[in-house]
A and B are shown apart, each in its own frame.
Chain A
């Protein structure tokens, strides 16, 4: 059974601060995705990373995939209240490409 650990579980910061969320696994991902989920809604895909060492940027969000494809990070610069939500990483593993294994999530709250 592949497990994804996310840290921190909770994060409360003020507007303008930077933050990083981590996602780690003991197994190698064939691909990894980051999602954001708001209350009462399903997760919405932010990014997919496939290649070890890959870095992708989405406005103030920077996603990095570890060289060994066992870990990933999400960095938010100058957080805004609109960034508040549950951030989930989800991985696909070799042989189970269509089945996503989700992390436990990081609940982010950004206050004014």
Chain B
């Protein structure tokens, strides 16, 4: 497919467990973004990569959250010691380059439920 893909689509885990969420951006897109969307809210920015490096990680809520993009394509969002408050839909987006007018294309999200 040509769009942004995210796996898994749903993840149910227990409090305290570790989870990894994967994002495959559109081929050729150098910028990649992670957002978190809680029920009834708009997406909230977490982190943005330009190439392999995190250009802005100011939205990560605490040090339990970490993201990597080792080869400048696929990215993994990692959450340690999950808490019930981490339950949300995690959205990934990619764009051709970065900047205020660059369109971000969103994936369908991973719905994370922490029991």
Q: Distance (Å) between the CB of B40 and the closest chain A CB?
A: 8
Using an 8 Å CB-CB cutoff, how does the interface string of B35-50 with A read, 1 for contact, 0 for none?
A: 1000011111100101
List, in ascending order, chain A residues with CB within 8 A of B98's CB: 97-98
Per DSSP, chain A at the interface is: strand
Most buried by A among B31, B33, B104: B104
Taking residues whose C-beta sits less than 8 angstroms from the other chain, chain B's interface range is: 20 to 34
A90 to B106, CA, bound (A): 13
Q: How many positions in chain A have a CB within 8 Å of any CB in the partner chain?
A: 25
List, in ascending order, chain A residues with CB within 8 A of B44's CB: 102
Is there contact, CB below 8 Å, between A90 and B109? no
Is there contact, CB below 8 Å, between B45 and A31? no
Q: Distance (Å) between the CB of A31 and the closest chain B CB?
A: 4
List, in ascending order, chain B residues with CB within 8 A of A92's CB: 100
Per DSSP, chain B at the interface is: loop
Q: Which residue on chain B has the smallest CB distance to residue A96?
A: B56
Contact A98-B56, Cβ < 8 Å, known A30-B100, A41-B108 = yes
Give the segment of A11-19, A44-52, A57-65 that binds chain B.
A44-52
Contact A101-B101, Cβ < 8 Å, known A42-B93, A44-B106 = no
Q: Distance (Å) between the CB of A51 and the closest chain B CB?
A: 11
Q: Distance (Å) between the CB of A13 and the closest chain B CB?
A: 20
A48 to B103, CA, bound (A): 8
Complex A-B: 8 CB contacts under 8 Å: A50-B100, A88-B42, A98-B33, A98-B48, A98-B100, A100-B45, A104-B41, A104-B42
Most buried by B among A30, A88, A100: A100
A48 to B4, CA, bound (A): 20
Q: Distance (Å) between the CB of B55 and the closest chain A CB?
A: 7
List, in ascending order, chain B residues with CB within 8 A of A96's CB: 56
